[in-house]
Structure formats: structure tokens, C-alpha cells
């Protein structure tokens, strides 16, 4: 039983004692006001004189009321103090611990919205490794959440700052509403211009608006779900293979993206000259240029330029070797 449930039970018991005491004194001949007054002074042990002379029956009733009423009053008072002190202390220390936990994070992912989409995103991000902070207005959804969290409106700058937006690597705007996701995207982009932002769209009309607001990627879950189902109908084996490669952690082969920095040793050299396949074992599937255009199945004479992103497939060991080679 929680402190609040105990407090509610104690207050109900005290109220019942007061009602029974009032009724008892009315039966003994007191007026209603005098009965209430006599009950309160008796239960609170103030010790004022009796309003009316007590008969032997009244004296017995008063003694019983003192024994029961004082116990109920003391219990209610103790639970009230316990609930107030422990509740406030737990809330205070819990908030402090949460703030310290978030303050220690770097390059984490901020997830705005803890609905079905937000939960799925968090599971995938957790499996991949990065830390994350969840922002949600409905505090009932946050009970028992294993991630650092901020209860509040993600469209407000103060809430985004509380989630460590200035140190985050990415933000996902996944609340239930395109207008709110647009505001979140605008606010996040203003607070951190180089933040990578993924926004959820519920309608096709909102996708371009979210991009103009500053989203790097816009995802329509309904549209993606339909496309994926169609792929399973038309090319089930291909669709399942891609799905497994992207999401199955136990599979040997994985897809990875590796950005080419300006100081990389392979920048300005052809794929033939870099010997990426021979030196790492990873297979380069595509190169993405800075303008977003993909060069799929690049030939050996294709030049690797700084700012491009290498899309490769291989085992985790091969992909780790590719990352180390590109970073040199």
C-alpha cells in the first residue's frame, strides 16, 4: 500500500470517528453544533470542559470516543507527516538523481513522446548502444521507465534543455500530432543547429512542412508500414533478409554507415586504391554524397570524398575494422 493510500484510509477512519461521535452526542441530548464541538475537543484531547453535563452513559461514551478517536487522530497525523516528508524527499532526491544522470550524458538520443512509436524507437536505440532520454507529458506513462526521463511538454525550450539537448547527438519527435512535432523540431533546431532530427508525420501533407522546420529525416509510420507489407507480398525473401540484417542482433552480417571525415586517409582516393575490401573484408554497397544522392554499387575507380557516407555490409569485426580504417 502506498503512502497516499494509507493517508486516505487514515483520513476516512478519522472522519468516521468524528461522525460517530457527533451522532452519539446528539443522541445524548446535545445540539448539533455542541455535538460537533464536543467530539472535536474530545478527539483532539484539548481538554475543554463539557458543553453539557454528562450522564453515566455519556461518560462511558466519551471514554470510548477518547480511546478510539485519539488513536485514529494520532495515526492520521503520523501518516500525514510520513507521507509529506518521505514523498517530498523521494521526489526531491529522485529529481536530483535524474538531473545528475542526464547531466552526465553525451551524444545521447532524446525521444519526445512515449507512445507505441516512442517505445519501439527506444528498444531499437537501446539495443544499438546509445544512451537516451525520454520526454513525455503524461507522467502515468513514465512509471517504472528504465531510461532517464523528463516529464513535460517537449515543445518548451526549458524541457528540451532539461533533457540535455545541447549535448545530444540526435532527437526524435514522435509525439501524437504533426503540429507538436513541428514545434519540437523548430525548437530543437534553434537550440542546437547541428542536431540530427528525425520527425514523425501522420499525414503526407505534413512531411514537407517538417522538413522545412528543420527535420533531417521525416518518417510516416503508416506509409512505411504499407510499403513494408507490400514488399513482403512482392519480394518476401528479399524483404525478410533486409529486415533481419537491420534488426536481428544474432545475425553474423550487418549493415553499417561510416562517414568519411576531412582528415581521413582514404579521402580523395579511389576504392581500388584504398583496398577497403582486402583490408577489412567489408563490402561497400553504396556511397552517399553530401547532397543526399546515393552511388549504388560503386566501381573500383569511384573516388571516395570527404563528407560522403559509406554504406557497407559485413560481420561486426569487419565493420569495426572499416570504421578504424576510415577514421585514420
Q: Which residues of 22-44 are buried (b: 16+ CB within 10 A; e: fewer)?
A: bebbbebebeeebbbbbbbebbe
Distance, CA of 210 to CA of 4 (rounded, Å): 43
User: What homologous superfamily is domain 109-219 in, according to CATH?
Assistant: NAD(P)-binding Rossmann-like Domain (3.40.50.720)
Could you tell me where the beta strands, DSSP code E, fall in the chain? 109-112, 132-136, 149-151, 170-173, 196-200, 217-219, 253-259, 269-270, 283-288, 294-296, 303-304, 309-315
Q: Specify the 3-state DSSP secondary structure of 220.
A: coil
Residues of the chain with CATH 3.30.70.1450: 252-327
Report whether CATH 3.30.70.1450 matches the domain 252-327. yes
pTM confidence score: 0.62
Distance, CA of 303 to CA of 295 (rounded, Å): 11
Q: Sign of torsion, CA 319 321 323 326?
A: negative
What's the pLDDT at 251? Answer: 67
| Inter-residue contact 174 to 113 (CB < 8 Å) | yes
Beta bridge partners of 135: 112, 150
Phi-psi region of 248 (alpha: psi -120 to 50; beta: other; left: phi over 0): beta
What's the pLDDT at 111? Answer: 95
For each successive 10 residues of the chain (328 residues), what is the average pLDDT? Answer: 69 87 88 87 75 81 83 80 64 70 91 90 82 88 79 93 94 93 95 95 90 93 86 87 72 85 91 91 93 91 94 90 90
Residues of the chain with CATH 3.40.50.720: 109-219
Residues of the chain with CATH 1.10.287.70: 3-101
Question: Topology of 3-101 in CATH?
Answer: Helix Hairpins (1.10.287)
Which DSSP letter does residue 259 get? E
Q: Which residues of 135-165 are buried (b: 16+ CB within 10 A; e: fewer)?
A: bbbeeebbeeeebbbbbbbbbeeebbebbbb
C-alpha cell at 95: 529529481
What's the pLDDT at 249? Answer: 61
How far CA 122 is from CA of 50, 77, 182, 233, in Å, comes to: 67, 43, 21, 28
Q: Which residue has the cell 532517464?
A: 148
Amino acid at each position: 500500500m502506498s503512502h497516499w493510500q494509507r493517508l486516505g484510509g487514515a483520513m476516512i477512519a478519522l472522519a468516521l470517528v468524528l461522525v460517530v461521535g457527533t451522532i452519539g452526542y446528539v443522541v445524548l441530548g446535545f445540539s448539533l453544533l455542541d455535538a460537533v464541538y464536543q467530539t472535536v475537543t474530545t478527539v483532539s484531547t484539548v481538554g475543554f470542559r463539557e458543553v453539557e453535563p454528562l450522564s453515566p452513559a455519556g461518560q462511558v461514551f466519551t471514554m470510548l470516543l477518547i480511546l478510539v478517536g485519539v488513536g485514529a487522530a494520532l495515526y492520521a497525523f503520523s501518516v500525514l507527516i510520513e507521507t509529506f516528508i518521505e514523498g517530498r524527499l523521494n521526489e526531491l532526491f529522485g529529481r536530483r538523481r535524474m538531473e545528475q544522470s542526464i547531466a552526465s550524458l553525451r551524444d545521447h538520443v532524446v525521444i519526445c513522446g512515449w507512445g507505441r512509436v516512442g517505445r519501439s524507437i527506444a528498444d531499437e536505440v537501446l539495443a544499438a548502444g546509445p544512451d537516451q532520454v525520454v520526454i513525455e507529458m503524461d507522467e502515468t506513462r513514465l512509471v517504472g521507465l528504465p531510461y532517464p526521463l523528463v516529464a513535460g511538454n517537449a515543445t518548451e525550450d526549458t524541457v528540451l534543455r532539461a533533457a540535455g539537448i545541447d549535448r545530444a547527438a540526435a532527437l526524435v519527435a514522435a509525439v501524437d500530432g504533426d503540429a507538436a512535432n513541428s514545434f519540437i523540431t523548430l525548437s530543437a533546431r534553434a537550440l542546437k543547429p547541428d542536431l540530427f532530427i528525425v520527425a514523425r508525420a501522420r499525414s503526407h501533407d505534413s512531411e514537407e512542412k517538417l522538413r522545412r522546420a528543420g527535420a533531417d529525416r521525416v518518417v510516416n509510420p503508416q506509409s512505411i508500414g504499407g510499403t513494408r507489407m507490400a514488399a513482403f507480398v512482392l519480394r518476401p525473401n528479399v524483404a525478410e533478409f533486409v529486415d533481419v540484417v537491420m534488426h536481428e542482433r544474432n545475425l553474423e552480417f550487418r549493415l553499417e554507415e561510416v562517414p568519411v571525415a576531412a582528415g581521413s586517409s582514404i579521402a580523395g582516393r579511389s576504392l581500388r586504391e584504398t583496398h577497403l575490401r582486402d583490408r577489412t573484408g567489408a563490402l561497400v554497397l553504396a556511397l552517399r554524397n553530401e547532397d543526399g544522392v546515393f552511388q549504388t554499387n560503386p566501381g573500383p575507380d569511384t573516388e571516395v570524398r570527404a563528407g560522403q557516407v559509406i554504406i557497407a555490409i559485413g560481420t561486426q569485426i569487419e565493420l569495426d575494422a572499416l570504421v578504424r580504417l576510415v577514421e585514420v
